[in-house]
Structure 1
C-alpha cells in the first residue's frame, strides 16, 4: 500500500503516460535517424553531412533540460503555438495527450535522433568502404542495390544496439523532462515519491526502470543477431 492506495493503482496511469511519451518519441526518432544516417553516409563530406554532423554534436553536448528550455522559449513564449506545461487528465484521448505533450516528445526525439544517427552514419561509412562493396561496384551492381541490399543489413546491428540503449536511456532522461514540463508520468511520480519518502512507490518504479533497461538490452542483442548477415544460418 502507498498513500492508502495499492501501488499498482498509482503506477498504472503514470506508466501508460510515460510509455506513450517514449513510444511516440521513438516512432518519430527512429525513422528519421536511420534515414538521415544513411543519407549522410552516402553523401559523405557534403553540406548535408557536415551540417547534420554539427547538429548531432550540439544535440549530444547540450543537456536535455537546456534543449527543453530552448523549445519552451521558441514555441511557447515567442510563437505561442504549443503549451509549456503538459496538462493531462485521465479522460484525455491519445490525440489530446499528444497535443499537450508535443514539446517533451520533441525533446526526447532530438536526443534520440542524435545518438542513433551518429552510429548509423559511422556504421554505414565503414561498410561502404569495405572490400565486398568495392567488389560489388566492380561487378557493375547499382549503387542503390549496394546500399540497401548489401551495406544496410551489415550496418544495422550497431544501429539496433544503440537504438535499444537509447530507448532505455530515455527512461532515465524522462524523469528530468517530465519534471520540466510537469508531465504526469512515471518520472514525475518517482521524484514526488522520493520527496514524500514513499518507499513502496520508489521501489516499484526502480524495478520497472531496471526491468525495461534489461529487457531492451536483451532485445537489442536478439535483433542484432537476426540482422547481422554473418550470424545468419546458411541453408543449403
Structure 2
C-alpha cells in the first residue's frame, strides 16, 4: 500500500468516526427537544405530581442534558442501548431480532438489484439510442417516479389480491424455512428493487459512456475488438469508482430507508420497530434506532470512499 492510499484511508476513517460522534449528538439533542413530557406520556394524564416527579428522577430527567448525553454515549460505547420505557425490554436484544429481519430483506434486494442494474447499464451502453436503451430507461425512470407506498399498493393489488401469487403482509418468524421467508418478503423486495434499480442503472450507463469517449477506447475499436469486449475489459474497470459509490449509497438506502416499505407490509424490521415506538414516545428506542441507522449509512459511505480510493490506479501505482 502506497503512503498516499494509507493517508487517504486514515482520513476517511477518522472523518467517519467524527460524523458518527456528531450524529449521536444531533440525535440525542433532537430527541430531548421534542415537545411534551416523557414521564407524562408514560404515566398518563391522571398521574399525580408526586408520581411524575419520582419517575423523572428515576429516568434521570432532572440531571443536566450534557450529563445525560455523556452517560448515554458511554453506555453506547459499551454496547448498552438502554431499556425500553414502554415494555421494559432490553433494546439491544429487541433490535438484534429486528435488524436481522431488515438485513435479510435488504440483502435479498441487493443481491437482485445490483447485478441487474449493472447488466441493464451494460445493455443500455451496448445498444445506445436504440430501442433496448430507450425501453430500459423508460421502465426504470417510471418505477423510480412512483412513490414507494403507491408502488407497494399497486403490487399488493395485482400480485396479492388479484392473482394471489404472494402474501400482502410480510410476516415472518424464526420457525419459518428460508424459502417460506423469501416467499413472504417477495413483494417488499420487489418494491425495493424497483426503487433502487433506476439510480444504479443510470449511473452505470453514464459512467460507461463517459469512459467510452476516451482515446484508448477508440484505439481498441481500431484494433478490431468487439464492442462488448471493449466495454467489459477496458471501460468497466475505469468506470468502477462512480458505480461503486452509487451502489453503496443505494445499499445504505436499502437498510436505512425501508421504513415506508416495512410499515406498508407490516414487516417486523427496524423501520416498523422505530415507527411503533415513535408513536409511544419511547425516547431510548428512538435514540438507539437513530444511531444505528446513522452508523450504517456513514459506514457504507465510508466503504464507498475506500473502494473508490483502492480502485484508482494512480494511487495504487504512484510514480
Q: Same fold (TM over 0.5)?
A: yes
- Following superposition, the deviation at residue 32 of structure 1 comes to 0.3
TM-score, normalising length: structure 1: 0.95
Question: In the alignment, which residue of structure 2 is the partner of 1:78?
Answer: 162
The whole-number CA distance in structure 2 between the counterparts of 1:108 and 1:138 is 42
The whole-number CA distance in structure 2 between the counterparts of 1:226 and 1:59 is 33
The whole-number CA distance in structure 1 between the counterparts of 2:313 and 2:141 is 30
Determine whether 1:38 maps to 2:135. Answer: no
- Give the root-mean-square deviation of aligned CA atoms: 1.5
The whole-number CA distance in structure 2 between the counterparts of 1:87 and 1:46 is 43
**Alpha-carbon contact 1:153-1:229 (below 8 Å) kept:** no
Question: In the alignment, which residue of structure 2 is the partner of 1:233?
Answer: 317
Determine whether 1:180 maps to 2:260. Answer: no
- Following superposition, the deviation at residue 173 of structure 1 comes to 2.8
The whole-number CA distance in structure 2 between the counterparts of 1:66 and 1:135 is 48
The whole-number CA distance in structure 2 between the counterparts of 1:89 and 1:79 is 25
- Structure 2 SS opposite 1:218: helix
User: Alignment partner for residue 53 of structure 1, among 117, 125, 137?
Assistant: 137
Q: Which has the larger radius of gyration?
A: 2
For residues 149-193 of structure 1, the C-alpha deviation after alignment (integer angstroms, 9 at most, x for no partner) is 110011111111011111112234310000000000000000001
Question: In the alignment, which residue of structure 1 is the partner of 2:200?
Answer: 116
- Structure 1 SS opposite 2:166: coil
The whole-number CA distance in structure 2 between the counterparts of 1:214 and 1:173 is 14
User: Alignment partner for residue 205 of structure 1, among 278, 281, 289?
Assistant: 289
Determine whether 1:191 maps to 2:291. Answer: no
Number of matched residues? 235
**Alpha-carbon contact 1:190-1:201 (below 8 Å) kept:** yes
The whole-number CA distance in structure 2 between the counterparts of 1:140 and 1:50 is 27
- Following superposition, the deviation at residue 234 of structure 1 comes to 5.5
Question: In the alignment, which residue of structure 1 is the partner of 2:191?
Answer: 107
**Range moving further from structure 2, 7-16 or 164-173:** 164-173
User: Alignment partner for residue 90 of structure 1, among 165, 174, 192?
Assistant: 174
- Following superposition, the deviation at residue 230 of structure 1 comes to 4.1
**Alpha-carbon contact 2:256-2:296 (below 8 Å) kept:** no
